[in-house]
Amino acid sequence: MQTTRRAALFGAAAIVSAAMPAIAEEEDIVIGFAVAESGFMQAYDEPATQAALIRIEEINEEGGLLGRQIVPVFADTKSDRAEGARAGLEVIEAGADMVVVSCDYDFGAPAALMAEAQNKISFFLCAESVRAGIQGVGPHSFSASVLAAVQGATMAEWAHEELGATTFYVLEDTWTEYNKGICDGFNWRAPQIEGVEIVGRDTFVNDDASIAAQITRIRNLPEPPDAIMLCSMMPGVVSAVRQIRNAGIEVPILNGSGVDGSYWMDAVPSLSEFYIPVQGSVYGDDPNPAVEEFNVRFEERFGARPSSQYAYPGYVMVDLWAKAVERAGTTDAAAVVEELEKMDEEPTLFGPRTFTSELHHQNRARYHIVKVTDGEPAVVDSWTIDEPIPLEVLLQ
Amino acid sequence: MTLLAVEGLSVRYGQLTALRDASLMLDEGETLFVTGPNGAGKSTLMKAIAGVVRPAAGCIRLGGRDITGEAPETIARLGFSMVPEGRQVFGELTVDENLRLGAGMRGDRAGAARDLESVFESFPMLKERRDGAAGLLSGGQQQMLVIARALMTRPRLVAIDEPSLGLAPLVIDQVYELLLRLRAERRLTLLVVEQSSTRATMTGGRMMLLRSGRVVLEGDARELNASGAVERAYFGYSDAEEPA
Amino acid sequence: MTAVLQILFDALSLGSLYALGALGIALIFGVMRLVNFAHGDYISFSIFALLWPTTAATTILFLGQVPPAVLIPFVILIGAGVSVLSEILVFRRLRDANPATLMIASFALGFVIKNLLLMLYSSRPKSLSILPGLAQQVEIGGARIPLLQVVTVAATIVILIALTAFLKRTRFGLEMRAAAQDFTMARMLGVRANRVILLAFAISGMLAGAIGLAIVVQTGTADINMGLSVMLVAFIATVIGGLGSLYGAVVAGFLIGGASVLMQVILPLDARPFRDAFVYALVIVVLLWRPQGLFAPRTAKQRV
Amino acid sequence: MTRAPSIMAKTVSTPLILIAILAAIAIAVDAFGSGPLARTVIEMLIRVVLVVGIWIFVGNSGIISFGHVGFMCLGAYAAAWLTIPPMLKQISLRGLPEFLLENQFPFWPSALAASLLPAVFALILGPVLMRLAGIAASIATFAMLAVINTVYSNWSTVTGGTSSVIGIPTVTDVWIALGMASGAIVIAWLYAISRSGLALRAARDEAIAAQASGVNIERERLIAFVLSAFVCGAAGVLYAHFLGIITPDAFFLTATFVALSMLVVGGINSLSGAVIGVVFISVIIQLLRWMERGVQVGETTVAIPSGAQEIAIGLVMIVILIFRPAGLLGNREIVWTSRREPRVARTQPAE
């Protein structure tokens, strides 16, 4: 059933994009989505894209932006880099004032570079690498999400303060930059905390058929660690968690946001002592009731609740950009970038956001901590790290 | 009665013509030697009959039935048993399994078991080594094995490609001794490929000489050899171009 | 001592997957010189058949809820089915093609299967906890070993014994072993080619289903690419085991699993991300040492 | 009796026709096509360079190589090291040697140097790998690819690890790509008619005979291997300067299989097959893509579902292979006959 709804959404989108020149009026504001409508990245791009559409519709209902309607146009990156660049070009040629690119830095960057080359603003849907911004793409590029390192650092601080953990074991999946980013943040923050000791480290690769050897190493520690920092992502992380728990290791597992969502938790029967930092809760218990209202609206519009927190950055993105356009009084990129960079703790539905002329990403953010007990995730706390993560750490 | 009839057979590998317009007839109970220098098309002829290579032109009949272009297993099941060059034992399989494989397409288990016993009688050496890997046999023993295996299929026609290749002269003698004995005992129809005509002369039977993919000489082995026609044809002297 | 035992079990359980994969690939390679790159996709396909097609994040079980006694044969049959179907629809029509063409055709087929699954299910991993009873520990020689590992190793041994018995004791088995060594010769002895090949595909597909089960029980997830890494290693194991040698493929599968676990254990932390580079370098060394593979059949010839 | 024309004169029409086909496509798209379509054509031309590079080794030696995309990887990263502005390199690629960190080289000299790196790598590894034959050689080349991929994915200070390397000047346009594709075709053609190429193909078809006539197979293979590494490296250079961003997994399994598929669909034994395979598959993919985006039929827009393109291209490939197992061109080359029309003719083997 979901299939048909999805097909309907993107089918409609495809028709819109094909017939775009006829629909987009001269005065319309165009947001171009160079995102994956098929292939591997589709599952990750779609929720954030849908959330962005919700914000666009809200703005249009409220009378539009600068009195003009926002029209989305789409081009499929097919989860391919070269296609991504072409999709970027396509939406720019369709008149995009701002280009939305794929969730992942590697897959989004080619399209973002296309936008950059024409001095257009590009927004990564949910990339969490510092390079998704000035440091990688250029001065017109932003990310709607929070740096992966912040998640690692948040886990280090929070686990020490709230769980009283002092000994940590770090298990790093070297498959992607995102995973390494989580560990970088953890490795930066944890040693600064007094009394914290990292008692061991190991690596694996996401598609390893088994991580038995890594688990054996944990079990052979003289003392079990107070917590395991697991820097990994879908799909391999599920396997890793299952194997860890099946091996009888019951210590708390700390994670990045990539594991958010209850859809996979069946794989690890009665999963407990499992912690996830999230920008907002999809579980109906967000401290801010407006978030739950959004979840409901999302379900009404697309037939299912957001499956993880990665839908939210799409909403934040349109929200922030629209505010900047409103303040600048124009969609002109230079003016909008200037307004975006003025944002300091700008409130959004999912926490305050800050951009500076140095960093178009969040190196500090409020996270809700989700704890999974017996397979049931629930928000137990909120946490903002003491200090923003310095740029040098992010760039190392 | 004609068991095998080949008419105007041509085989090409890409642009290379390996066999050109070859014909032969083989009666039941007869022995035919096909000889000729390296690359003359002898093995190609065998493979074409066995269905391993597809002829470009021509027709092959076995026991009156057209088998041109049929699959090797079909042809084997019609009674054509091929012992290819290089002895092709299944080295990983035991001697026993090699033989049983030969008997595989026969429905009668009892008959197959009897044949196995009779084969072991003819080849006592194989009985001794029946549970050993065939690959561990000596060259001569392997040659015995493949012949025995061919017999297990209860063939109407046994074709043997270069049985003496790579064997010591003494062993070759043994192999031929065995072939002669089997021919006598079982009234086998034999199609034997050899590079030299010496064996053909010694063994007796009809002989055919191939060169550069053509049949250049055909007749009784002993007579041909005595006349010196074989030698001339073998080395390609022009007066031998006309079949004698 | 207990540490050694644990490492041994780690190596055995990883090696089991590779060995079963290698066997599946070697069976097909043996009878028709096909390097079947679709094998990994048979693995995914047989598992996804348990799920209702949906691109939503939540998993809707189609047949996953049935008891193991039904579920296990079902998955294995699906594996056999997709494998046999691909022989009938694709590979049978490519009998005379050279190995490169066959290989690319198998790749194209795998590509079709994968993209079909992608379209129906999306790339998001699907969780399915089947056989949850295996999430326990057992004590063996003082070491606490996850039950799952024990079961994986035991199941592999059972499969290997059953397959050995099939190959050694039955007419079909004999024909398949002969065909794997020298297909043409086997046909000249009356072995029916299409039947043997079809059977090889069926067994290979069943093995793919079994691997799928082993992976899914281990990881708790079905993922579009779940079969890929096993298949690549299995493919290599087939070659370094010695082409045409089923036994060699199995041993090589275990060896690669063992090497991989050993590397993980002995390499210093900084070098561990480079583990696969060491494993593959080792593969090159083995090939240079024994280009025909470790257990090349005694009569093996270079046929590709 | 007239003097037999030289092998060069007899075969020169093949590269000329192939280049003319590519040039015609490039010119047409440049004149009438849109920006995105031009990018499709550039991508196709880069693939031509890669597949022709692979063909130099695979087509002449008969050994299927899974490793050549690894050479593309080496070339692409070398191009990145040479041409990224020093400021960026000092942040993201700090492990590079001093002279690379502090300098930025212009495109052409850098392209040459970057293509030479995989050639040198092939020259070092080749003597070892070329001792293998058949499927063992194929597996060894795959292992080589896996080693390159693992090292480049994790050698963070020099390659940026799994993170994309960014800041490569995007200078590849249609004309540069066309020039390089033409160059690759000419190199492949010259090699194919060289003594080494003829000997290698003879050895491919009749290994024992060729060896008996004194062909040193290992040496001829090595020459082909190094040359093809060079051309594949050039494809990597083009790719890097086309997208401006590279990661190791862009040069792994998918790229390998796509390239090999194009080669086999075109016809593995002929240079024309390599080029036509790329052009043919690229055109079909583009057509399917248009169908995915929707085709105007009368008043309504008809579109095939997203993702159907991939399924369709796989099916198309299978069908082609079933009906033409030796590829679209079989063993033939496209040649120009005296009747002044392009005809397909058989290649003359070593004559």
C222-252 pLDDT per residue, tens: 888 888 888 888 988 988 888 768 889 999 9
Nearest chain C alpha carbon to D318: C105
Question: D112-157 pLDDT, tens per residue?
Answer: 999 999 999 999 999 989 988 888 888 899 999 999 999 998 888 8
Task: Tell me which residue of B208, B224, B182, B197 sits closest to B29, measured CA to CA.
Answer: B182
A370-to-A179, A351, B21, D296 alpha-carbon distances in Å: 19, 16, 84, 49
A345-359, B8-22, B50-64: the lowest-pLDDT one: B8-22
- Please tell me whether the interface predicted TM-score (ipTM) of this complex is above 0.90: no
Q: Measured between CA atoms, how close is D237 to chain A, in angstroms?
A: 15
What's the confidence (pLDDT) of residue B239?
47
Query: What Cα–Cα distance (Å) separates residue A363 from each residue in A128, A135, D348?
Result: 10, 13, 66
pLDDT at residue B241 in the model: 45
Q: How far apart are CA A83 and CA A36, in angstroms?
A: 10
Beta-carbon separation of D164 and A109 below 8 A: yes
The per-residue pLDDT for A24 is: 52
What's the mean pLDDT in B217-235? 79
Could you tell me which of B192, B187, B196 has the C-alpha nearest to residue B206? B192
The number of domains in chain B is: 1
Answer whether B73 sits within 8 Å of C193, measured CB to CB. yes
Q: Is residue C102 part of a domain?
A: yes
Instruction: Report the first-to-last Cα separation within chain B, whole angstroms.
Output: 24
Helices B109-122 & B95-102, crossing angle to 10 degrees?
130
Residue A17 has a pLDDT of: 42
Angle between the N-to-C axes of helices C171-181 and C147-169, in degrees from 0 to 180, rounded to the nearest 10:
90
CA distance B190 to B83: 11
Locate the domains of chain D by residue range.
7-250
Q: Does D340 score more than 50 pLDDT?
A: no
| Percent helix, strand and coil across chain B, each to the nearest 5 | 40, 25, 30
Report the Cα A172 to chain-centroid distance in Å.
Answer: 19
Is D139 an interface residue toward C (CB < 8 Å)? yes
Separation between Cα atoms, residue C189 and residue D230, nearest integer Å: 49
CATH number belonging to the domain at A2-146+289-341, selected among 3.30.1490.190, 3.40.50.2300, 3.65.10.10, 3.40.50.300: 3.40.50.2300
C-alpha–C-alpha distance, residues A333 and A282, integer Å: 33
Q: How high is the pLDDT of residue C193?
A: 86
Query: Do B216 and B240 contact (CB within 8 A), yes or no?
Result: yes
Residue D67 is given by DSSP the state -
Token representation of residue A162? 């709230």
How many angstroms away from the CA of C175 is the closest CA of chain B? 7
Buried b (16+ CB within 10 A) or exposed e, B43-75: bbbbbbbbbbbebeebebbbbeeebbebbbbbb
Residue with structure tokens 């043996």? C30
A205 touching chain C per CB within 8 A: yes
Q: Do chain B and A touch: 3 or more Cβ pairs under 8 angstroms?
A: no
DSSP C300: -
- Quick check: helix, strand or coil at residue A278? strand
Q: Helix crossing, C228-241 with C246-266: angle to 10°?
A: 120
Average pLDDT over residues D71-96: 91
> Is the Cβ–Cβ distance between C220 and C226 less than 8 Å?
no
Q: What is the mean pLDDT of residues B210-229?
A: 81
Distance from CA of B38 to the nearest CA of D (A): 13
Note the pLDDT of residue A122. Answer: 96
pLDDT at A7: 39
* Cα-Cα-Cα-Cα dihedral sign, residues C91, C93, C99, C103: negative
Q: Residue range C123-144: average pLDDT?
A: 78
How far from D189 is each of D16, D44, D183, D198, D335, CA to CA, in Å? 10, 20, 10, 11, 13
Cα–Cα distance for residue pair A38/A79, rounded to 1 Å: 7
Exposure letters D93-113 (e unless 16+ CB within 10 A, then b): beebeeebeeeeeebeebbeb
A378 touches chain C (CB under 8 A): no
* CATH number of B148's domain: 3.40.50.300
Q: Decide if A45 contacts A76 (C-beta within 8 A).
A: no
Asked whether residue C298 is assigned to any structural domain, the reply reads: no
**Angstroms from B175 CA to nearest CA on chain C:** 21
The domain that contains C268 carries what CATH number?
1.10.3470
C-alpha angle A298-A78-A265 in degrees, rounded to nearest 5: 50
For the A148-278+366-395 domain, the top CATH level (class) is: alpha beta
Q: According to the model, what pLDDT value does residue C24 have?
A: 92
Please report, for chain A, the start and end positions of each structural domain, with discontinuous segments joined by +.
2-146+289-341, 148-278+366-395
Number of domains in chain C: 1
B104 φ, ψ (degrees, to nearest 5): -60, -40
pLDDT in tens, C146-165: 888 888 899 999 999 999 89
In chain A, whose CA is at the least distance from the CA of D306?
Answer: A38
> Which of D110 and B236 is assigned the larger pLDDT?
D110
Question: What's residue B184's pLDDT?
Answer: 83
Closest by Cβ to C287, choosing from D140, D265, D325: D140
Q: How high is the pLDDT of residue D3?
A: 54
User: pLDDT (tens digit, 9 = 90+) per residue, C22-65?
Assistant: 999 998 988 888 889 999 999 999 999 888 877 766 666 666 56
Structure tokens given for A305: 């609740």
Are the C-beta atoms of D167 and D104 separated by less than 8 Å?
no
* Residue B203 near residue B180 (C-beta atoms within 8 A): yes
Report residue B237's pLDDT band, with 50, 70 and 90 as the boundaries: low
Query: What is the bridge-based pairing of β-strands A227-231 and A253-254?
Result: parallel
Any CB–CB contact under 8 A between C120 and chain A? yes
pLDDT (tens digit, 9 = 90+) per residue, C189-215?
Answer: 989 988 999 999 999 999 999 999 988
Averaged pLDDT, C9-18:
90
For residue B165 the two structure tokens come to 């290749």
How far lies C146's CA from each of A212, A248, C9, in Å? Answer: 9, 8, 9
Q: What pTM does this model have?
A: 0.85
Q: Among the ranges A285-294, B34-43, C92-101, D249-258, which has the highest mean pLDDT value?
A: A285-294
Q: What is the span of the domain harbouring residue C144?
A: 2-289
Q: Which chains touch A (3 or more CB pairs under 8 A)?
A: C, D
Specify the 3-state DSSP secondary structure of C137.
strand
Q: How close C151 gets to chain D, by Cα (Å)?
A: 31
Give the three-class secondary structure for D316.
Answer: helix
Low-confidence ranges of chain A (pLDDT < 50): 1-23
Residues D197-224: pLDDT tens digits?
A: 999 998 888 777 777 777 888 899 999 9
First and final C-alpha spacing in chain A: 46
| B15 Cβ under 8 Å from any chain D Cβ | yes
Q: Is the pLDDT of residue D237 over 70?
A: yes
**What's the pLDDT at B202?**
79
Q: Which domain holds residue B44?
A: 2-240
C43 part of a folded domain: yes
Q: How far apart, in whole angstroms, are the C-alpha atoms of residue D179 and residue A328?
A: 46
Which residues in chain A have Cβ-Cβ distances shorter than 8 Å to D161? Answer: 177, 180
Other beta carbons within 10 angstroms of residue D74's beta carbon come to 24
3-state secondary structure (DSSP) of residue C247? helix
Residues on chain B touching D346 (C-beta within 8 angstroms): 15
Tokens representing A396?
Answer: 């190392």
Best of C88, C102, C123, C287 to disrupt the D interface (most D CBs within 10 Å) is C287
Please name the residue of chain D whose CA is at the shortest distance from the CA of residue C118: D307
CA–CA distance, D19 with A170 (Å, rounded to integer) = 55
Could you tell me whether strands A376-384 and A366-373 are parallel, antiparallel, or unpaired per DSSP bridges?
A: antiparallel
CA-to-CA distance for B33 and D247, rounded, in angstroms? Answer: 66
CB atoms < 10 A from the CB of B235, how many?
Answer: 10
Amino acid at A62: E
- Indicate the helix (H) or strand (E) that contains D274: helix D271-293
Same fold, A2-146+289-341 and A148-278+366-395: yes
Does residue A84 contact residue A107 with C-beta atoms inside 8 Å?
yes
Chain D: closest CA distance from residue B14 (Å): 10
Instruction: Tell whether C276 is within 8 A of chain D (Cβ).
Output: yes
B111-115, B144-148, C153-157, D255-259: segment of lowest average pLDDT: B111-115
CB B50 within 8 A of CB C188: yes
Q: Do the beta carbons of residue D25 and residue D41 sit within 8 Å?
A: yes
Backbone angles phi, psi at C47, to 5 degrees: -80, -40
In chain D, which residue's Cα lies nearest the Cα of C235?
Answer: D139
Query: Is the pLDDT reported for residue C300 higher than 50?
Result: no
Who has greater pLDDT, D279 or D304? Answer: D279
Considering only alpha carbons, which residue of chain B is nearest residue C184? B52
- Residue-wise pLDDT for D34-63, tens only, equals 888 999 999 999 999 999 999 999 999 999
**Phi/psi-derived region of residue D160, left when phi > 0, alpha when psi is between -120 and 50, beta in every other case:** left
If DSSP states are collapsed to H, E and C, what string results for B101-158? HHCCCCCCHHHHHHHHHHHHHHCHHHHHCCCCEHHHCCHHHHHHHHHHHHHHCCCCEE
User: What is the C-alpha to C-alpha distance for residues D242 and C69, in angstroms, rounded to an integer?
Assistant: 55
In this complex, which of B73, B93, B133 lies closest to C191 when CB atoms are compared?
A: B73
Q: Does D318 touch chain C (CB under 8 A)?
A: yes
Cβ-based interface (< 8 Å): residues of C facing B: 171, 174-175, 177-178, 181-182, 184-193, 244-245, 297-300
D136–C292 CB contact, under 8 Å: yes
Q: What does the alpha-carbon distance between residue D256 and residue A136 come to, in Å, rounded to a whole number?
A: 27
Average pLDDT over residues C139-145: 78
Higher pLDDT: A254 or C123? It is A254
**pLDDT at residue C5, rounded to an integer:** 84
What does the pLDDT look like over D259-281, one tens digit per residue? 999 999 999 999 999 999 999 99
The region that residue D254 occupies, defined by phi over 0 for left and psi between -120 and 50 for alpha, beta otherwise, is: alpha
